[in-house]
Amino acid sequence: MAQTVFEPWNDPDAKPIIQFKNVTKRFGDFTAIDDLTIDIYEREFFALLGPSGCGKTTMMRMLAGFETPTDGTILLQGKDIAPISPNKRAVNMMFQSYALFPHLSVWENIAFGLKRDKMAKDQIAARVDEMLRLTRLEKFARRKPHQISGGQRQRVALARSLAKAPKLLLLDEPLGALDKKLRQDTQFELMDIQEKTGTTFVIVTHDQEEAMTVASRVAVMDHGKIIQVATPAEIYETPNSTYVADFIGDVNLIEGRAEQDGDKVRVAWAEGQPAIVGTTTRQFDKGQTCHFAIRPEKVAITATKPENIANAVKGKIHDIAYLGNISTYHVALPNGHMIKAQAANNRRLSRRSFTWEDDVWLSWTDTAGVLLER
Amino acid sequence: MRKLTWFNVTSLTLGFAFLYLPMVILVIYSFNASKLVTVWAGFSTKWYAELFQNQAFLDAAWVTLRVAVVSSTFATILGTMAAYVMVRAGRFYGRTLFSGMIYAPLVMPEVITGLSLLLLFIGIGLDRGILTIVLAHTTFSMCYVSVVVSSRLVSFDQSLEEAALDLGCSPWQAFRLVTLPIIAPAVISGWLLAFTLSLDDLVIASFTSGPSATTLPMKIWSSVRLGVNPQINALSTIMIAIVTVGVITASLISKRASVRALEDEQAAART
Ligand SMILES: Nc1ncnc2c1ncn2[C@@H]1O[C@H](COP(=O)(O)OP(=O)(O)O)[C@@H](O)[C@H]1O
Ligand SMILES: [Mg+2]
């Protein structure tokens, strides 16, 4: 079956729904957003990912209209939104704290925005019921926010912000308050709702797994700057910097000096160890400092030295983290350097091949890792 | 429960006796059958009956009631607005001065407030009467309202207002539909406080009233100077009752309802 891939960011004709153009936001002399430029496309599920305090909420608040950029412009469907007050924007926000109105019932909370639009009574009722069905809250319509559970409250907040059918929905750490199981269910629910309604979602999260699960593209932020924007797979497989590689998932980072030969690079990284061989599309000067990044699951662990493989080093198992389906082995090399390798536990624990203090070989191909300049 | 020591019991008794004995005596003597204030001659409610026949007192009561209702309403509106600006507007030029000036009348001697208002009314040629008392009471009671309301607003989650704006409210609608209903208990107790303050004010009313308007406290004060009369005791007892009910209601409303509203709000914010 031929399926068109959803990749508007690769289509030169696609018109972005949101454009940040050199946006800077300063609070006093503190720069929260630093000369940021980004396009977000219609129907995208766009995730902003970054550590606490990196400016994610500030970006959302500028889109919703609660903060104005110090410099630069934000365009919504090609129009500068600076002069439009928050109540006139076709943008709705789901607040980090949910911000449900405590004096109104679930039904009235969802109807609140519709009533402001002077919609006819029966239309409001129909729309609210539709939202209640979508978020599976029919039974709680008459309850007050303090009479329902955290997960239900989160769904009320979602229903309320979706009710007005905004062009753009902003979700600020929507699942922060939920426990892991409920959170995973809700992530799929969110994706489902996003697909059904065709709304563009921008979600803020500091949970990388969540971003990887829901998003069409992920922007990794640090100190008010976007470090990399790409699909979850690209972010994971080809991070553009050690910051991104380290932020998303687990990674081994090895610093060394590069020596390039075509698309192959040899990285001299420690006395008495063979140089690491990797592949790259970039250009490294001879002797330039570079970082070799490789995911633990791409490092094979064997008892004997494997044949015909680009990279193999010997070490001793220092620690084993048993995670049920997989185990992470921390292997110490003779020079003290620690490398993590992951292997699936496809045998029972009692029949595990390796244990503490075993001598093992770690190996990986020349295309398993990436070479980064910084 | 800790047991009270005899020392605690004694100090408690003495303290409360000091505070309430005069009032208790007044209430008891309002039911005295004798015309002599110092001689007990059996229980009677005749002074209450006589009181309700006394046109001068009834007129004064009517003036007082009107002044109290109107001035406490204005004070509530102005005091709430002032509190809102102080809590919400963030830092603006002259904010400290503004908030200091709102709270200053709390500690200003009433004589000075009264005198300055009197000078103002004379200066602008305003005839003294009900209107001037209303203005004066509004002025001095609005700071009490703003203290009560701003203490509630400080704990109010501002993202609720932002959510209202986000859903299409104008700032005024956001205030009317979200903020006001949630802070209503504080506003009501502010109103009750202003009402009772106006009801028993003597000093400021004396400065700012004219011959056409005499409030109840003024009437009581002037008749007591001609000798204490059991009717006054009866009247004072009624006023004590009204003020007590007012103050207790105000504190109950603000305590209970704001505790509950806060719980709701926090529960709504997080599990
Ligand atoms: N109104 C404000 N005044 C001053 N500093 C602020 C304000 N809002 C946010 N900041 C600062 O901006 C930075 C980014 O905040 P925020 O966008 O909330 O981060 P997060 O990525 O955790 O959501 C933080 O360091 C925060 O202290
Ligand atoms: Mg945040």
Contacts with B101 (C-beta within 8 Å, 6 or more apart), sequence order: none
Q: What is the CATH number of domain B44-270?
A: 1.10.3720.10
The CB of A281 under 6 Å from ligand 1? The reply is no
CA A145 to chain centre: 30
Helix (H), strand (E) counts: chain B: 13, 0
Helices (H), chain A: 56-64, 106-116, 121-134, 150-162, 180-197, 208-214, 232-237, 242-247
Question: For residue B271, what pLDDT is reported?
Answer: 46
Three-state DSSP at A329 gives: strand
- Angstrom distance (rounded) from CA B114 to CA A53: 53
Paired with A317 in beta bridges are A331
Query: Mean pLDDT over residues A51-64, rounded?
Result: 92
* Residue closest to A158 by CA, chosen among A179, A125, A189, A180: A189
* d(CA A41, ligand 2 centre) in Å: 23
Predicted model pTM: 0.79
Instruction: Indicate the fold that domain A8-243 takes in CATH.
Output: Rossmann fold (3.40.50)
The listed CATH number (3.40.50.2020, 2.40.50.140, 2.60.120.620, 3.40.50.720) that belongs to domain A250-372 = 2.40.50.140
* Residue closest to A191 by CA, chosen among A10, A51, A47: A47
* Residue closest to A168 by CA, chosen among A70, A7, A46: A46
Residue A374: both structure tokens together: 């910084």
Of the pLDDT bands very low, low, confident and very high (cuts 50, 70, 90), residue A1 is very low
3-state secondary structure string, A316-328? EEEEEEECCCEEE
CB atoms B160 and A146 under 8 Å: no
User: Whose structure tokens read 């082995």?
Assistant: A329
- Percent of chain B topping pLDDT 70: 94
Query: Best of A96, A108, A110, A112 to disrupt the B interface by mutation (most B CBs within 10 Å)?
Result: A112
**Closest ligand 1 atom, CA of A59?**
17
Report the nearest-CA residue for atom 18 of ligand 1. A57
- Angstrom distance (rounded) from CA B70 to CA B66: 6
Report the nearest-CA residue for atom 6 of ligand 1. A27
From the CA of A50, the nearest ligand is: 1
Query: Mean pLDDT over residues B116-139, rounded?
Result: 90
Q: What are phi and psi of A92, to 5 degrees?
A: -125, 155
Report the nearest-CA residue for atom 25 of ligand 1. A53
| pLDDT tens track for A195-231 | 888 889 999 988 888 888 899 999 999 999 999 999 9
Average pLDDT over chain B, rounded to whole? 86
* Residue closest to A40 by CA, chosen among A22, A63, A16, A64: A16
Question: For residue A113, what pLDDT is reported?
Answer: 93
Query: Mean pLDDT over residues A181-196, rounded?
Result: 84
Give yes or no for A102 touching B (CB within 8 A).
yes
Query: Mean pLDDT over residues B223-245, rounded?
Result: 84
Residue B246: both structure tokens together: 């007012």
Where in chain B are the domains? 44-270
User: Which residues 159-178 of A are in CB contact (within 8 Å) with B?
Assistant: 160-161, 164, 177
ipTM here: 0.80
Q: Is residue A324 a contact partner of residue A345, using CB atoms and an 8 Å limit?
A: yes
Where in chain A are the domains? 8-243, 250-372
* Residue closest to A86 by CA, chosen among A170, A17, A197: A170
| pLDDT tens track for A356-367 | 888 899 999 988
- Percent of chain A topping pLDDT 70: 98
Chain A residue closest to B171 (CA)? A87
pLDDT at A350 over 70: no
Burial of residue B211, with CB atoms counted within 10 A of its CB: 0-12 exposed, 13-18 middle, 19 or more buried? exposed
Of the pLDDT bands very low, low, confident and very high (cuts 50, 70, 90), residue A71 is very high
From the CA of A222, the nearest ligand is: 1
Q: What are phi and psi of A330, to 5 degrees?
A: -95, 115
Strand order in the sheet with A264-268: A276-279, A264-268, A252-261, A289-294, A370-372
Please give the interface size between A and B, counted as residue pairs whose CB atoms are below 8 Å apart: 89
Question: For residue B191, what pLDDT is reported?
Answer: 92
